Amino acid sequence: MDSRLDRQFPSVAEIEKAALKRLPRFMADYIYCGMGNGASVQRNLDALAAVKFLPRYALEVETPNLSTDFFGQTWQAPFGMAPVGLGGFAWPAAAEILARSARHFRIPFCASTFALASLERLHDDAGDCAWFQLYRPNKVEVETDIIERAKAAGYSTLMVTVDVPSSMRRAHDIRNGFSIPPQINWFTLREILTHPVWSLNQAGHVLRRGLPRFENFDTYLPPGLNTNDSMQYQSDLTIGNISAEVIRRIRQQWPGTLVVKGVLDPKDALLYQEEGVDSILISNHGGRQLEAAPSALEMLPKIRQAVGPKFPLMVDGGVRSGLDLCRLLASGADFVMIGRPFYYALAAMGNKGANHVVELLIEEMRCVMGQLGCSEIAELPERVMQ
């Protein structure tokens, strides 16, 4: 770990604070805020904070082993990088940087359908650490083609997001005029001018690669659309409920590992499990979809009871430290996905941020497990205070 960076950014909390200062308001709010007044975001944080451990000190403990076998591969740590659409606006080429960092540390990187880079490019960067997240197009021919592209690119894991059935109204984005491309008015111009590090780096990226766009949809756009219309077309293309029938069709086409992301209700979990999915990612979308939704941690034991003790369950939402990772793993999760901290790190530190936050989370996990007297992740549940 870079000692200079560690002194300046010793925690995700410090990284977040620096990132929010460096980002223009429209982008800072996009990453930081949730739906409505943010109650669901806070619920994620509060649920994690409520998990307490009882440490053990009278044990002979070896150096904590974070290595994890999951989906037929061995990972250096039990967490991965969650898919984040528009992440390239936190820092230029964010997805590509994170993909390369994931490959370096041997943890999963999940490429978003709405990344500002193609799924093919991101697989090249992440190699066999690459997973692909699908916002399922509501046109079957487009759905089929994107899945075929993911197969051809070499992805082994497909993660289908199910918790975006309708278009969203996020007050902060409306207030800030956040759009792709950004609306240029006095507010956005002021924010761009008063955040020069972000602005200059974004401008340089545009000069090198052109205006940002959702590259995965380039071949599906009707001819003659202007930029705003094309963005709206792509957004509308992914609206709709993901029924068991849809998952059945995707399961028939996809030969690799199939994950459903965004499940909170045990009844949904059972329906998807019956259609042959390999894992479920319990998630409230980082608090960004339904303000009244429970946290993933609240629903984890109920979904575990529904699907059985051996069915692989992943969780995301609210992770800001290695301690939070330990809390989720101790509560029954087999693997954890993390979103915001990685993009805060890039916004705060630039390209160096990706590696730093991975190293930080790993070191924090080792510290926590050492305090608890745990050599292996499987021992964490024994330390939870009921």
Q: How far apart are CA 161 and CA 370, in angstroms?
A: 36
Query: Is the N-terminal amide bond of 181 cis, ω within 30° of 0?
Result: yes
330 residue type, one letter: A
Q: To 5 degrees, how large is the angle CA 308–CA 314–CA 318?
A: 130
Classify residue 287 as exposed, middle or buried by CB count within 10 Å of its CB (0-12, 13-18, 19+).
buried
Marked catalytic residue, from 123, 172, 195, 285: 285
Which DSSP string corresponds to 157-219? EEEEE-S--S----HHHHHHT--SSPP-SHHHHHHHHT-HHHHHHHHHHHHHH-S---GGGGG
Instruction: Provide the 3-class DSSP secondary structure of residue 347.
Output: helix
* 123 a catalytic residue: no
Q: How far apart are CA 111 and CA 99, in angstroms?
A: 8
Continuous H helices in the chain: 3-8, 12-22, 25-32, 39-49, 94-105, 119-126, 140-153, 171-176, 186-193, 196-209, 227-237, 244-253, 266-274, 296-307, 322-330, 340-349, 353-372
Q: How far apart are CA 344 and CA 15, in angstroms?
A: 6
Q: Cα dihedral angle (89, 95, 96, 102), rounded to 10 degrees?
A: 140
Q: How far apart are CA 344 and CA 325, in angstroms?
A: 17
Which DSSP string corresponds to 33-63? --STTSHHHHHHHHHHHT--B----SS--PP
Q: How far apart are CA 376 and CA 55, in angstroms?
A: 14
- Nearest residue to 325 via CA among 73, 82, 96: 82
Report the catalytic residues: 285
